[in-house]
Amino acid sequence: MLLNRWRWFRERGWHEIDAATYNTLWQTYGGSVATHPQIIQRLSNLVDMPVRYLGWQQDDQLTAAIACWDNFLALSRNKLKKIGKKSFFDLGNAEIILPVADSARMKLRHNARYISQLNQADIINWRTQKEQLTKVKSLDEFSSKSRNSQRRKLKTLLEEGGQLKPVTDFTPSELAKIYCDLFYKRWQFTAPGSAKQPEVFTLLRDFMTGSIILFNDEPIAIHIIYRVESPKWISMEFVNGGVDPQERNFSPGTVLHFANIQAAWEEANNVGKDLRFSFGRADREYKDRWCNRIPVGFTN
């Protein structure tokens, strides 16, 4: 009875909707990798967490939607910790863009972090979070000297026997092995979620993007990037990566960052959409080279 009362209090103004309606609202208003309907459903099934979908009604119209795990937004890392399944998958500290109409004004009483500025004006209890996220710079924000330097490095790598191959050329099992091997070579400990990595990459295969660098047919750098497309923007999350430190003369990690960023912007420009390419939390100096820091919000 007490649990039901707390749920009633938390969800005042929200109404239960079905998965199909959530999908329609996401496709209409947009969202991000961590709020995409299929990603939520597939990863929720992986960790055996039921999803509840709620809609916010305003002027007889649904103007917002959320997917929940109890009092947390779905895919919440904090909820995964509570149920002992933190290591099942890794989405990093992903930007949370909720499917919300421009006219919406709502109160979100679920626990959520890293909520995008795109939702700030719509969520009346949005509060600025201490940690910031990183959003990839536009190509114009990189100096011509920097761009030319990265292109020369890639050219040298290719002339010396290197290759740049799309992740779609590899099976999920191959990607999992490449990623886990290169992550360990770089950091000398196992990658987060490594035990479930083949299964996760199989589930999220449709959303994986970017390239892998090979040298003499051996992978030397990989970045795990997920991509979804909204009506007005493309949302991408760089979750993690791995690189062979023995090949540092070629700077493969740096070259791969630039190659992936350049390809992402070319795609976004071709379809006339903004690019929201996140490198996660602003917690490493190297991210400042590629990204601008952006404020995000939280609710509870």
Query: Is the domain of 166 the same as that of 97?
Result: no
Report which of 117, 49, 130 is spatially closest to residue 83, judged by C-alpha positions: 49
Residue 3: pLDDT band by 50, 70, 90 thresholds?
Answer: very low
pLDDT at 2 over 70: no
Q: How confident is the model at residue 182, as a pLDDT? A: 97
Q: Calculate mean pLDDT across residues 140-163.
A: 92
51 part of a folded domain:
yes
73 and 12 in a common domain: yes
State the alpha helices, DSSP H only, in the chain. Answer: 2-10, 19-29, 37-46, 77-82, 144-159, 172-187, 197-203, 252-271, 285-290
Q: Is the pLDDT of residue 168 over 80?
A: yes
Same domain, 145 and 202: yes
Is 166 part of any domain?
Answer: yes
Which of 72, 94, 125 is the last residue before a domain boundary?
125
Assign residue 292 a region: left if phi > 0, alpha if psi is -120 to 50, beta otherwise?
A: beta
Domain identity same for 213 and 263 = yes
Whether the CB-CB separation of 106 and 56 falls below 8 Å is answered with: yes
- Is residue 255 included in any domain, yes or no? yes
The predicted-structure confidence for 62-100, as pLDDT tens digits, reads as follows 999 999 999 999 999 999 999 999 999 999 999 999 999
* Predicted pLDDT at 4: 57
Q: Which amino acid is at 50?
A: P
Q: How many CB atoms lie within 10 A of CB 8?
A: 9
Q: How far is CA 130 from CA 37, 45, 114, 219, 298, in A?
A: 28, 32, 10, 37, 9
- Same-domain check for residues 162 and 285: yes
Single-letter amino acid, residue 157: L
Residue 296, Cβ neighbours under 10 Å: how many?
A: 25
Structure confidence at residue 268 as a pLDDT band (50, 70, 90)? very high
User: How confident is the model over 4-54, as pLDDT tens digits?
Assistant: 555 655 677 899 999 999 999 999 999 999 999 999 999 999 999 999 999
Q: Are residues 192 and 93 in the same domain?
A: no
Cα separation of the two ends of the chain: 21
Q: Note whether residue 276 is domain-resident.
A: yes
Mind listing the pLDDT tens digit for each residue in 241-256? 999 998 777 889 999 9
Instruction: Say yes or no: 158 and 266 in one domain.
Output: yes
CATH number at residue 277: 3.40.630.30
**Residue 76: per-residue pLDDT:** 97
Same structural domain for residues 52 and 171? no
User: 146 is in which domain, residue-wise?
Assistant: 135-299
pLDDT at 187: 92
Note whether 121 and 152 are same-domain residues.
Answer: no
Q: What is the pLDDT of residues 169-225, one digit of tens each?
A: 999 999 999 999 999 999 999 998 899 999 999 999 999 999 999 998 999 999 999
Domain count of the fold of the chain: 2
Q: Are residues 259 and 169 in the same domain?
A: yes
206 lies in the same domain as 66: no
The answer to whether position 111 is within a domain reads no
Indicate if 259 and 172 belong to the same structural domain. yes
On whether residue 268 sits in a domain, the answer given is yes
Q: Is residue 130 part of a domain?
A: no
